[in-house]
Structure 1
Amino acid sequence: MRPSQSDETILSIRDASRRLVRELGFLEPTLAGTNLAPSAVHALIEIEASPSLTAGSLCTALGLEKSSISRLVRKLVDAGEVREESSSGDGRAKCLTLTAQGQDTVAAIHAFATSQVSAALTRLPGVGRETVLAGLRTYTDALHAGRTDAGDSDRPAITIESGYRSGSIGRSTEMHAAFYRRVGFGAYFEAQVAAGLASFVQRLERPVNGFWSAVESGRIVGTVAIDGEDLGEGLAHLRWFIVDEGQRGGGTGRRLLRDALSFCDRTGFAETHLWTFRGLDAARHLYEANGFRLVDEQPGRQWGEEVIEQRFVRKAAQPASARNPS
């Protein structure tokens, strides 16, 4: 019996997936030019992206069983790549951070992977590169959704809600304070976030401004905003993008960002800008995957501590006049 077109598509995607796994080296006992197994390489990258990560959060991010993560973390600690520290909020939980050796290992992993991908991209035209990016992102998100729906059916679904929600200012400020405390930001930073949000929500009814919350069981676990006024006409400012620690790596940030950027495209902004600072590699990867490019960086103290501030810009896919013909 001749397979249907749908069956042929599935077989072709499976074949391409197997080839991708082989070409990236995942069938080898070690990965990315290291002497580490693939799961260890991925664990180090996740720990680098979120230095306050716990073993429980790492389970969620990697989709592995607790016993497997426990053995993996122990091996990385014994190898001198990772250290465990008691969480300030919960003495029973251990926060995972990279040692100096671990930081060197991750830097080498990134260099290897960047070289590997760059070499492949040189064989593709510009349009082909964007097609690869869009296709991979869509496919992996769909796989993730299928896995988490099947494997975590008892966990409440996360919804993305548009507009102000009671408690948004406080929860967003709380999540920002908890995350940025690790880089030394304190009361001044927290006050700036709260004051900025309080001022912004007074302008939220204007059509160029937007605010989105990720909500789980009535609790806000992530926020993002688009301020369409403070940078000038035709420019959007992406602000207050934060996801609760327990949700990082699960796709909540990607969903928030996509809703915000879809709003930017519908509204007709020529560019979307955001400010962050050097060292937040997981966030940078997410921004770049969604079309942002680093255009400027310099020392700054606007948040009370000196950091290397970075400005990223995402240009509209096409002119506003083409999207909204009159």
Structure 2
Amino acid sequence: MSIDPSVVEQIRSASRTMVRELGFMRTTLAGTDYSPSAVHALLELGSCGALTAVQLVQFLGLEKSSVSRMLARLVQAGEVGQGSGDDDARTKQLYLTEQGKRTVEAIHAYGQRQVTTALSPLNRRQQQAIARGLEVYAKALTACRPGAAGPVGSLIHVSPGYRPGLIGRVAEMHAGFYSRHSGFGQFFESQVATGVAEFTGRLGNSRNGVWVAEQGSRIVGSVAIDAEDLGGNEAHLRWFILEEGCRGSGVGRRLLNEAMAFCTEQGFSAVQLWTFKGLDAARRLYESFGFELTHEEQGSQWGSAVMEQQFTLRL
């Protein structure tokens, strides 16, 4: 498709202005003492919960040596910690320390002030036009990056509601992950499939919700909020799972963002979730949303002995 040259120049000119006004020409960014690349590394870790150095290289589009040096400085500064991965102890997972979380909160506050100040003089239609245009353009830029998976349509999208194949895919993803991690087998898979099937029959209740991550037409992640399972105006966060190749991409945080926004909108007093000890990357993601470990005990109801954990978020 041909592109009007004047449109190209208009976008390039606007992009140069944005780079200058947002502070990317300076040696530090967002009111911190860190470089733009370091700030973006902290934001990616805050978004994803945990990443490997290789994943950060892919996200940031920088050379491995540059990312390694930058990460070493962030670790030394106390912003970033390192731990073993869930599936491979040889793989170092990078995550924000408590200090790093505070730094990211300050970066977000700085950015929100910038955007709010810029948008305040505009009407709602203009504000929405900017948001939609920037989102589409950002996706287009990502899609044409060298080595990108494909066109915009192949990117992962998160959306609410049931769609054909959901029950089977959620059961399949759970069975695959927990057979490797915890040794669960047929009984566990059957329980997941039965539970999801029963729950989807209750989606007519507006306080129940399910969100699905899709890559093209393939379901690669899910999360559900069950308003009827616990009672007492407490929501049960259930069936949060991602296909292995999508972990560390930020999709999990996007799913949880949708679910938590829904819980706030519905006025639940708390959100409960149950998981297993040892899933450290997932735990850091839960804790970044404010969940706290409230109970744990040894259990074998799924066919293999594991330490079951309950996390609670008070709203």
Assess same fold via TM > 0.5.
Answer: yes
Q: 2: distance between equivalents of 1:13 and 1:194?
A: 49
Query: What is residue 274 of structure 1 aligned with on the other side?
Result: none
- 3-state SS of 2:221 partner: strand
Mapping 1:1-326, distance limit 5 Å: 6-147=4-145, 150-152=146-148, 163-164=164-165, 168-173=169-174, 195-200=194-199, 214=214, 221-223=220-222, 242-244=241-243, 246-247=245-246, 253=251, 283=255, 294-295=264-265, 296=267, 298-301=269-272, 303=274, 305-308=310-313
Residue 67 of structure 1: CA displacement?
A: 2.5
**What TM-score do you get using the length of structure 1 for normalisation?**
0.61
The residue aligned with 1:259 is none
Q: How many residues align?
A: 251
Question: TM-score, with normalisation over the residues of structure 2?
Answer: 0.63
| CA displacement, residues 287-306 of structure 1 (integer Å, 9 cap, x when unaligned) | 89xx9794235334364624
Q: Distance in 2 between matches of 1:175 and 1:132?
A: 41
Structure 1 residue ranges without an equivalent (≥5): 182-188, 231-237, 254-279, 311-326
| 1:82 Cα deviation from its structure 2 partner | 0.5
The Cα offsets for residues 120-166 of structure 1, whole Å up to 9 and x where unpaired, read as 1211111111111111111101111111xx32469xx9588962179
- Local SS of the residue matching 1:151: coil
Task: Work out which structure has the larger RCO, using CA pairs closer than 8 Å and 6 or more positions apart in sequence.
Answer: 2
State the distance in 2 between where 1:34 and 1:22 align.
17
Please say if residues 211 and 255 of structure 2, whose CA atoms lie closer than 8 Å, have aligned partners that are also in contact: no
Unaligned runs of 5+ in 2: 158-162, 183-187, 204-208, 230-236, 275-308
Q: CA deviation digits over 1:223-271, x for unaligned, max 9?
A: 47899xx9xxxxxxx98575446435768x4xxxxxxxxxxxxxxxxxx
CA distance in 2, matches of 1:281, 1:166: 21
The residue identity in structure 1 corresponding to 2:35 is A
Deviations 1:181-209 (A, max 9, x none): 9xxxxxxx9998654324356799xxxx9
Between 1:86-95 and 1:63-72, the stretch displaced more is 63-72
Q: Distance in 2 between matches of 1:177 and 1:121?
A: 46
Q: Once the 2 structures are TM-superposed, how far is the Cα of residue 68 of structure 1 from its aligned partner?
A: 2.5
Using the TM superposition, give the Cα deviation of residue 87 of structure 1 relative to its aligned residue in structure 2, in angstroms. 1.5
**Is the CA contact 1:61–1:248 (under 8 Å) kept in the aligned structure 2?**
no
2:298 counterpart residue number: none
> Closer, same or farther in 2 for the Cα pair 1:47/1:239, shift >3 Å?
same
1:319 aligns with: none
Check whether the contact 1:163–1:211 (CA below 8 A) recurs between aligned residues.
Answer: no
Two-structure CA RMSD over aligned residues (Å):
4.5
Give the 3 Å change call, closer, same or farther, for CA 116–165 of structure 1 in structure 2.
closer
Runs of 4+ in 1 over 4 A off after TM superposition: 157-162, 174-178, 189-195, 200-204, 209-213, 223-227, 238-242, 248-251, 280-288, 291-294
Identical columns (%): 42
Q: Is the 8 A contact 1:215 1:221 kept in 2?
A: yes
CA distance in 1, matches of 2:5, 2:68: 39
